[in-house]
Structure 1
Amino acid sequence: MDSKNPNILFVEDDKALLTRLMKGARLRSPDLNCHGAATDAEALLMAKKLLPEVIVLDLTLDPARGPESGLRLIPKFFEISESTRV
């Protein structure tokens, strides 16, 4: 990572949990730029805009589809930025 504050993107459909994850990350590492997305579409838009260094991904974004709903995003994130860690 370069000298700028790193971007981290949390992708979680449970908004209360998303808020707790971001708050916890900021408390532990105040230099992080924490961002959140609650849907796959929102996550892809934010990944394109932010080019985050790290994405923390809920694999079951859509409980009806199970882990496939989160897993299918991983290759799309790598198309946006090969250096992003998921």
Structure 2
Amino acid sequence: MGLGIIGWIIIGIIAGWLAEKVMGRSHGLVTNLIVGVIGALLGGWIAGQFLGMAVGGFNIMTLLVAFLGACLLLFLLGLVKRRG
């Protein structure tokens, strides 16, 4: 069963908030949502392409992949900011 829009929002907010705390950043709710959803897409793509994992649905694995993707996104954005 796939995630609906409400599921994406919930996973995105949680993953973005967790990544914000782990990466030592300070964002608002909307930024956490955006980071979490983009992180979920990034993490899901990496999990599928390189690990052969199909991640989906409203479960802990989806949250973990979204969280790791959000952390990676914040890390990469930090690198770009330092160069600019």
Same fold (TM over 0.5): no
Q: TM-score, normalised by structure 1?
A: 0.29
Instruction: Name which structure has the greater RCO, CA cutoff 8 Å, separation 6+.
Output: 2
- Which has a greater percent of strand? 1
- Which has a greater percent of helix? 2
Q: TM-score, normalised by structure 2?
A: 0.30
